[in-house]
Amino acid sequence: MKKDKSNKAFNYNRFLKEERRKKRRKEKKKRLRLAKVKLNQKRKYFSRYAEVIAPEILTLQLGYSEEVLRFISLLKDLGKTENIINIRLHKVTDIGEGAIGMLLSVMKELTNAGIGLKGEKPLNTIARNKLEQSGFFKYMRGYVAPENLKTKNIIIHTGDITTSQVELEPEMPKVMETVWGVEARCPELFGVIGEMLRNSCDHAFQTDNSVFWHLGVSHLEKDNAVKFSFVDNGVGIIKKYYEDNSWQQVKDYFKSNSAILENAYKKGIESQTGLPWRGEGLPTIYELYTDNIITNLVVITNDVYLDFDKQKFEEIKVPFSGTYYFWKVNKSCKPAYFV
């Protein structure tokens, strides 16, 4: 039976169908137009960014540290004025565990402040592999080669004020196995890491939600050695000391920031000056070094660089807002472990 095209209901339905088609076409055009606008906005947004090129030797060893600290300081300063920062590591030929931890720390600080980050890996194969194996990309997006995903030699752990020491406890047996060939506990080493965490959480930061730190553990199995790096981006030990009522008397007694910090670790300031003083945890850290449980102890904080192996206690031109520790455990150390 043929439809009667003169039927009003039929014509009305046809009209409604055509209106729906027009509406869908209109909505589709609108969606495409909005998507194009957003894409152009995104392109425009990402076309404007600050670019920072990392130094070729990205390690915190004495002689290279000031250039690395200058790079870190520039990143922090740009975080105050820029929305996006492109961190280019393409020229890096040598990269150290401590520098990786320090870079991760400042990048965490920038992302927490809402700064967009772009990046470029080292072109040098050795440096690129070391960065990928470090665990850096657990916290920052980026491709990691399959062979570098499988490694368990190097770990970067990141934490905040809520992170329990229990979460770090499984790492100690792995360290003892690499150095001594025995899966065992090392309470003294574990305890001093806890001391560093307490210093960061109790003294380094103004507010609880700004507390975060990074612990790098690098296993060099062929050398029976493990490298540690600990970094927080708090105010730094010296700057925190400025808040102490006895600061000026201590400064007058020791004359320089490097002398103050050297003596704070070695002997404790209170015992030498008779002045009431905080920071009892620093001699505890140094005692681990003098007892030969760790070696190669280095501390960088504010404008001070301490290298206890090389007996270098210096003030540096480029300060670091935070505290950095580096040390090793190897066969030359005392086997202070318990099965």
Per-residue pLDDT reduced to its tens digit, 130-155: 999 888 887 777 888 888 877 766 77
Q: How confident is the model at residue 42 (pLDDT cuts 50, 70, 90)?
A: low
Sheet (strand 212-220) strand order? 154-160, 212-220, 225-232, 312-329, 295-307
List helix spans (H) across 164-221: 171-180, 187-199
Yes or no: say if 153 and 133 are a contact pair by the CB < 8 Å rule: yes
Beta strand 212-220 pairing with 225-232: antiparallel
Q: Which helix (H) or strand (E) holds 116?
A: strand 116-120
The amino acid at 255 = K
CB neighbour class for 62 (10 Å; exposed up to 12, middle 13-18, buried from 19):
middle
The pLDDT mean for the chain works out to: 83
Yes or no: say if 320 and 302 are a contact pair by the CB < 8 Å rule: yes
Range with lowest mean pLDDT among 21-25, 211-215, 317-321:
211-215
Q: Give me the mean pLDDT over the 80-98 stretch.
A: 92
Considering only CA atoms, which of 69, 157, 75, 65 is closest in space to residue 111? 75
- Of the chain, the percentage scoring pLDDT greater than 90 comes to 32
Helices 171-180 + 187-199 axis angle, to 10: 130
The pLDDT of residue 93: 96
Yes or no: say if 301 and 322 are a contact pair by the CB < 8 Å rule: yes
The pLDDT of residue 1: 47
Q: Which helix (H) or strand (E) holds 212?
A: strand 212-220
CA separation for the pair 41, 221 (Å, rounded) = 50
The pLDDT of residue 246: 74
The model's pLDDT over 91-142, given as tens digits with 9 standing for 90+, comes to 999 999 889 989 988 998 898 888 988 889 999 999 999 999 888 887 777 8
Considering only CA atoms, which of 44, 56, 122, 121 is closest in space to residue 84? 44
Q: How confident is the model at residue 71 (pLDDT cuts 50, 70, 90)?
A: very high
